[in-house]
Amino acid sequence: NFDVTTPDKFDKAYYSNLQVKKGLLQSDQVLFSTPGDTNPIVVKFNSDEKAFFDAFEASMIKMGNIDVLTGKKGEI
């Protein structure tokens, strides 16, 4: 589980954990701990759970619209 604070709840705790240096994986912690484009996203999602849910919804819809490659065009 990637959220040790609220493992049975879908919420913004993942981002809260990153801000207090409790990211489970180092690659996740880097999202907040290094300067760059992802730091403000972590701050935003931690402070605005609705923004996180809205972005998650939009990304799920976008991924759902990706055409699946099948047969000889597909790759595993």
Question: Does 3 reside within a domain?
Answer: yes
Do the domain assignments include residue 26?
yes
Tell me the per-residue pLDDT of 22-33, one tens digit each, with 9 for 90 and over: 888 898 898 888
Domain-embedded: residue 57: no
Question: Cα separation of 17 and 47, whole Å?
Answer: 12
Q: Is residue 36 part of a domain?
A: yes
Cβ atoms of 49 and 16 closer than 8 Å: no
The residue range of the domain holding 42 is 1-50
Residue 68 lies in a domain: no
Number of folded domains that form the chain: 1
pTM summary value = 0.75
Give Cα 41 to chain centroid, integer Å.
10
d(CA 48, CA 74): 38
State the amino acid at position 34 in one-letter form: T
Asked, for residue 71, whether it belongs to a domain, the answer is no
Which of the four pLDDT bands, split at 50, 70 and 90, describes residue 49? very high
| Structural domain contains residue 6 | yes
Lowest mean pLDDT among 38-47, 52-61, 63-72: 63-72
pLDDT at res. 72: 84
